[in-house]
């Protein structure tokens, strides 16, 4: 197991630079392909509630997927960043009900459901910068989703954990910490891969 916060920071910079080099057309094509691939994943196709997030900037696009899930009648939860970097949750009611919040994030404008609302999810979509062959995810470093995964563990809940990435972000190995938990699957524009 690689344990090196400096290595994580360097990798984060590298992946963010790669994303910054993508054209708008590249990002739009990837978003459409991600939505198609993700909707075919049984973990999402059979879910009644999905905890997701709204992509921003050059992140792999989630908006087409969010709308498709909502159209299927799936209850979609979106995160609301709290001052301590923990996440509260709200319902996705469509693109007209998103507001720009701290750090440029888009959040739902409705009622807050509380941090434990995520425990009702059948699947959790996790943002990330990379995932390795063990299913270990490299996040942005804020720890918000580490808290989400810990909350699910404490509640005895095991929803499918899926990370959405670009094809080049599936790598041989990422630096890991003892608390890191693997995801169940990664979806990229090129396809899906399960880890267990």
Within-domain flag for 153: yes
Residue 192 backbone phi and psi in degrees, to 5: -120, 150
Within-domain flag for 77: yes
13, 105, 159 from 122: Cα distances, Å: 32, 24, 5
Number of domains in the chain: 1
Within-domain flag for 196: no
Cα separation of 189 and 35, whole Å?
Answer: 8
Please provide the DSSP assignment of the chain as one string.
----HHHHHHHHHHHHHHHHT--HHHHHHHHHHHHHHHHHSHHHHT-SEEE-----TTSPP-HHHHHHHHHTT-EEEEEEE-TTS-EEEEE---GGGEEE-GGG-EEE-S----GGGGGG-SEEEE--SEEETT--EE--SS-HHHHHHHHHHHTT---EEEEE--GGGEES-----TT----SEEEETTEEEE--
Question: Which residue is listed with tokens 């708008």?
Answer: 24
- Given this model, what pLDDT does residue 6 score? 58
Within-domain flag for 138: yes
Within-domain flag for 20: yes
Within-domain flag for 195: no
List the domain range (segments joined by +) for residue 161. Answer: 5-189
**Full pLDDT tens readout for the chain, 196 residues:** 344 555 788 889 999 999 999 999 999 999 999 999 999 999 999 999 999 999 999 999 999 999 999 999 999 999 999 999 999 999 999 999 999 987 788 999 999 999 999 999 999 999 999 999 999 999 887 789 989 999 999 999 999 999 999 999 999 998 888 878 899 999 999 999 999 7
150, 142, 139: which is closest to 174 by C-alpha? 139
Within-domain flag for 42: yes
Within-domain flag for 194: no
CATH number at residue 43: 3.40.50.10420
Beta bridge partners of 132: 171
- Given this model, what pLDDT does residue 142 score? 79
- Given this model, what pLDDT does residue 5 score? 54
Q: How many residues does the chain have?
A: 196
């Amino acid at each position: 197991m690689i344990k090196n916060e400096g290595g994580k920071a360097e990798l984060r910079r590298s992946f963010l630079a790669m994303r910054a080099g993508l054209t708008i057309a590249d990002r739009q094509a990837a978003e459409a392909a991600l939505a198609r691939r993700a909707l075919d994943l049984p973990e999402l196709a059979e879910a009644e509630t999905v905890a997701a997030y709204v992509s921003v900037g050059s992140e792999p696009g989630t908006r087409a997927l969010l709308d498709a899930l909502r159209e299927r009648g799936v209850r979609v939860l979106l995160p609301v960043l709290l001052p301590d970097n923990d996440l509260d949750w709200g319902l996705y009611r469509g693109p007209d009900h998103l507001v720009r919040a701290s750090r440029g994030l888009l959040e739902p404008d409705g009622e807050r459901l509380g941090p434990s609302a995520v425990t009702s999810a059948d699947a959790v979509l996790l943002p990330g910068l990379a995932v390795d062959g063990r299913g270990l995810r490299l996040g942005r470093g804020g720890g918000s989703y580490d808290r989400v995964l810990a909350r699910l563990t404490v509640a005895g809940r095991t929803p499918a954990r899926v990370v959405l990435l670009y094809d080049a972000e599936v790598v041989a190995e990422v630096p890991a910490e003892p608390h890191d938990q693997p995801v169940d699957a990664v979806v990229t524009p090129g396809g899906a891969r399960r880890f267990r």
